[in-house]
Chain A
């Protein structure tokens, strides 16, 4: 008789799963994950109640057993708590699921641990977020020579829309030349292309531009924004960082050589750790050195952690577009980045010179440690002390030691971390991190990279938040296209030039910036998310200055690379400098004719003529510049002496032959004036000659106007 009784007891005590109740995975887990676990899980669960495991539920919280009170608190509207003063009542169905679950005795599948990061809810992204899923190469629907058009046209066709007609050949070549080299085409090049705008002629132009040394100069500028590049430390002394320009030149060369992406990543993060390390690869680690550095931090210990944040932030923003640094003080609020992950990654840099060292080293290693007299990075020890997680990010509250590791958001990509070999000088962690980022299976890196290429050709990314692919960022307008491009990029060995080529050869790229149904389409899609026309773009600060020099015929193009020139800065602008009495010695006039890329970047004294046109402030990575239209820009182009110098040089150039008006137009705008324009110009010349008492000055006045036109400043 004992046996049946035991059986009965066993039945009563059996895990409640055997009892009827709602399907845990389908009905209960989603509610708990979405509504409760934000607070009731983790190391320090709210009210001491951990709802991520059966044991936590059974244990209850500070206010006693949980099961009974869950339904009570939810129906009373106490839970979830108010947000910004507003109640957050659960939908009825969810309340009913919980009620049924509690009534059934809160059955919980054996061994099941709910993980807040396991899935995306309406409040946060989980590991199932689109950007963390493996890249899959979608099939390309037939009918288009260029796969890009297959994807773009599919979306337009869905809407019953047609793309804009092809751009005027002159507009197209100008767009292409600026995109690939940051420079304007000459009037002769435009004439030739206008005379023969055949696909073959266009392809020839594309290939010529892609192999130009100026291509690297242009694309280096985009990357230097992301790398928060400047040549000084910032802060009180704002010291010059010797050799910073060599990193800039490394970037230019990398783009010109189309360095494979894996190599691009590995050299910048771990050029000192590569088996084939060389002066070139160590120069690339300048990426880790070009950020700000404060030689007199208030609290040196705290500043050590600020430097870690800069390194983690720059690395993860540049290569992964995930805001990992948000997890320095707490688990990420919106993405599956636990606080522990932040420290796992930070450990990659922990063995480097992050702690305050001698001021003259400017936050870097010694020449001896580095092996070269460069601005570079290396570990100062292969066996650093453990890095501890800081509770609430506070250095005064160190927690458990966190060994180096990679982000947990892509479990498919987990890699074992190999300890350094005996006798190694470095930890090998940065190389492991670089390998992980550059792994063909990394879901983020390739997407982020091709998105940047797209952004700079099309005026906006397929993901319009190029520095944030997480939950608070934007979703791709064309997810399949993004994946196809990423897959293509990986398949061709991480080379960018084939992708540039593919993009600029697409019909989507070659269309006009004005659509016959402009008003109708714009009313629905003002942001041009469907790419129904080309985006009109204002020249950025550097392209604008280069274009002014090109128009005046004074641009010094042949000299690629080398130490920066010190730009002319007006005495008025120097007044904002604390070392006003100190010497600001601009380079000789000849040097001022170099491309803007080569202007010395001093954090405490950025040239106002560049910042007014939205050049970045260099303290944080900048993936997308603002484009503002403000009156001080007009003042700069109307009155700045540099612009007048170019106007006068342009006038001298135009006046040196027949038909100065035509010559001025061709130099500035790359085309002949139209009759109405010529008439207006002739009137202007006549009137200004009278006013200014000089035909030369009148011609300079005309040239000055041309350099101020929208046509000069915008790309169609």
Chain B
């Protein structure tokens, strides 16, 4: 009990960073060691490399994670959590004993049934609504957690909660913890990639994928699925690859002379090599998003090139390619900016979810099928969910939108180590709040880390006198959804 409440244990000291080389956080030294670079240039003293692959705490089920983030808060009672009682009580108010914060002070209407009917999917018969007819075909792959709850009714803080485990900005995100714990398998690509919706970033912006108090080496890298995926990948047009190569050669020559006069300059050596890595990244990252080698049937399956699935389909396909190439954590956002541009269905669930689900349903189904076919689903965890759910009641008579609901909502998981065809936990009969086997965001985080082979209580980062954890002093692994 006291241990859970007071985690200020001390297992790791900040000075670990300087033990090797006197310079904090040399991201490249392991790579350099691989290349025999230090052997040639400087004495290798085992300087720490924040992104070097690290062993997991125990055997991992998942090597990679694809987090499909439904920005804005999709409605559970309209998608994966069927509530027949809403039909029965339609038009009545929510019972008075159910207390809630009316986010944004919006109109409080009446209990409203699902906008689209549910049907059983797969052999398991797991019910999925007609917003997701394609995903439904993969019902046997899904573990649907219907009892999620979170700490905020406001997008800004709930998104940060979903991503970092706290409603306040400034903490490392789930992806940061994953690459901090396990490092990165492909040194020519970032370990933690975030692809946003073209309509804009999530509310609260950067803190959603930042590394907080950890080294910036662990923060998410924004990736664009078309053209140049990352910032500053290409210089001015007149600098041809030849010309740039000539620059790099001159740079290497000047830097080498500089290094020769400074024996033991590991940080200098590391920086020299960072240019070679950057040069390789210039080729490797466009290659990762280059879909020209994908077959037509794959492109069609993901819905690439066709409205309304083109964007998310492309993103899902890129996610598969990144995972194939060893990227640890990929986060795709559906919905960007504010209100109806996201899953924030205040006006009409049918209209809003109809639009957004049509964009993502086919691509997500294709991703699950494609990963499965390629044998990648066994080592890739797919997580689907938003920052909260939506209320079982409408925003007024004849106004079929729903307000934010942090008390009960659905997240599903699929792939590596996940028990498919499962529904876990339950909301009350109206779908208002999680009542059975409640799963807090901390529990979701603990479970994701667990599937990556990481113990959320042991994965700590020493900061300002405290061993910080993604799950703070909370979190239980939801073992019942693990195969």
Interface residues in chain A, defined as those with a beta carbon under 8 Å from any beta carbon in chain B: 39, 46, 84, 234-238, 292, 294, 296-298, 306, 317, 323, 326, 329-330, 333-335, 392, 460, 464-465, 467-468, 470-474, 513-514, 518-519, 522-523, 526-528, 535-536, 538, 570, 572-573, 575-581, 603-606, 608, 611-612, 614, 617, 619-620, 626-636, 638-641, 644, 674, 676-677, 680-681, 684, 687-688, 691-692, 697, 701-702, 704-706, 708-711, 713-714, 716
Contacts and interface: CB of A to CB of B under 8 A. Distances in A.
Contacts of B26: 628-629
B281 A527 contact: no
Interface in B253-301: 253-255, 257-259, 261-265, 267-268, 270-272, 274-275, 277-278, 281-282
Contacts of A522: 22, 43, 45, 264
Contact of A527 (B18, B43, B275): B18
Contacts of B157: 235, 294, 296-298
Interface stretch (B7-15, B307-315, B413-421): B7-15
A634 B337 CA distance: 31
B19 interface: yes
A526 B224 contact: no
Contact of A234 (B50, B207, B261): B207
B23 interface: yes
Of A605, A612, A629, A702, chain B has the most CB atoms within 10 Å of the CB of A629
B278 to A, nearest CB: 4
Interface string B123-155: 000000000000000000000000000011111
Interface in B191-245: 196, 198-207, 210, 212-213, 215-217, 219, 221-222, 224, 228, 230-236, 238-240, 242-244
Nearest to A677: B254
Nearest to A604: B205
Interface of B: 2, 5-6, 8-10, 13-15, 18-28, 43, 45, 50, 101, 151-158, 167-170, 190, 196, 198-207, 210, 212-213, 215-217, 219, 221-222, 224, 228, 230-236, 238-240, 242-244, 246-247, 250-251, 253-255, 257-259, 261-265, 267-268, 270-272, 274-275, 277-278, 281-282, 336-338, 406, 462, 464-466
A617 B168 CA distance: 13
10 closest A-B pairs by CB = A619-B170, A236-B156, A298-B152, A580-B200, A604-B205, A634-B278, A323-B465, A333-B8, A639-B232, A631-B277
A630 B26 CA distance: 8
Contacts of A535: 22
Nearest to A322: B465
Nearest to B466: A326
Given A575-B201, A632-B231, A472 B156 contact: no
B24 A536 contact: no
Contacts of B19: 526-527
B263 A626 contact: no
Contacts of A639: 232-235
17 contacts: A46-B2, A235-B157, A235-B204, A238-B204, A294-B168, A333-B6, A333-B8, A472-B462, A518-B264, A527-B19, A575-B196, A604-B207, A629-B270, A631-B278, A644-B236, A680-B253, A705-B247
Contacts of B204: 234-236, 238, 578, 604
Contact of B2 (A39, A468, A713): A39
Contacts, number: 311
Contacts of B250: 680-681, 684, 702, 705
A642 B368 CA distance: 42
Nearest to B157: A298
A573 B251 CA distance: 27
A676 B253 CA distance: 10
A695 to B, nearest CB: 13
A471 to B, nearest CB: 8
Contact of B243 (A528, A605, A627, A701): A701
Given A629-B274, A640-B232, A709-B255, A298 B168 contact: no
Contacts of A644: 235-236
Given A468-B464, A644-B236, A635 B231 contact: yes
A687 B240 CA distance: 13
B459 to A, nearest CB: 14
Of A238, A518, A535, A575, chain B has the most CB atoms within 10 Å of the CB of A575
A641 B406 CA distance: 44
A704 B247 contact: yes
Nearest to B202: A578
A511 to B, nearest CB: 14
Contact of B167 (A298, A460, A538, A620): A298
A539 to B, nearest CB: 12
Nearest to B160: A235
A691 B245 CA distance: 11
Contact of A626 (B207, B216, B244): B216
B464 A467 contact: yes
Contacts of B224: 572, 575
Contact of B22 (A238, A527, A688): A527
Of A298, A326, A604, chain B has the most CB atoms within 10 Å of the CB of A298
Contact of B25 (A317, A628, A636, A641): A628
Contacts of A329: 5
A706 B255 CA distance: 10
A46 to B, nearest CB: 7
Nearest to B277: A631
B325 to A, nearest CB: 15
Nearest to A234: B169
A691 B244 CA distance: 10
Given A580-B337, A629-B27, A705-B250, A296 B235 contact: no
Contact of B263 (A519, A603, A604, A631): A519
A635 B213 contact: no
A578 B216 contact: no
A634 B252 CA distance: 13
B455 to A, nearest CB: 11
A523 B221 CA distance: 36
A629 B271 contact: yes
A630 B205 contact: no
A617 B170 contact: yes
A705 B207 contact: no
A578 B338 contact: yes
A631 B406 contact: no
A640 to B, nearest CB: 5
A329 B473 CA distance: 11
Given A626-B216, A630-B27, A710-B271, A514 B264 contact: yes
Given A522-B43, A575-B224, A636 B231 contact: yes
Given A235-B157, A638-B232, A605 B205 contact: yes
B201 A573 contact: no
Given A579-B200, A635-B278, A298 B206 contact: no
Contacts of B101: 298
Given A619-B168, A628-B216, A631-B28, 8 more contacts: A235-B156, A296-B154, A330-B6, A392-B5, A605-B206, A611-B216, A680-B250, A709-B255
Contacts of A617: 170, 207, 210, 212
Contacts of A238: 204-205
Contacts of A580: 199-201, 336-337
B15 A688 contact: no
B264 A691 contact: no
A407 to B, nearest CB: 15
Contacts of B217: 626, 628, 630
Contacts of B262: 513-514, 536, 716
A606 B281 CA distance: 23
A634 B158 CA distance: 35
A578 B22 contact: no
Contact of B222 (A292, A474, A575, A578): A575
A713 B271 contact: yes
B233 to A, nearest CB: 6
Given A292-B168, A522-B45, A581-B200, A604 B206 contact: yes
A323 B464 contact: yes
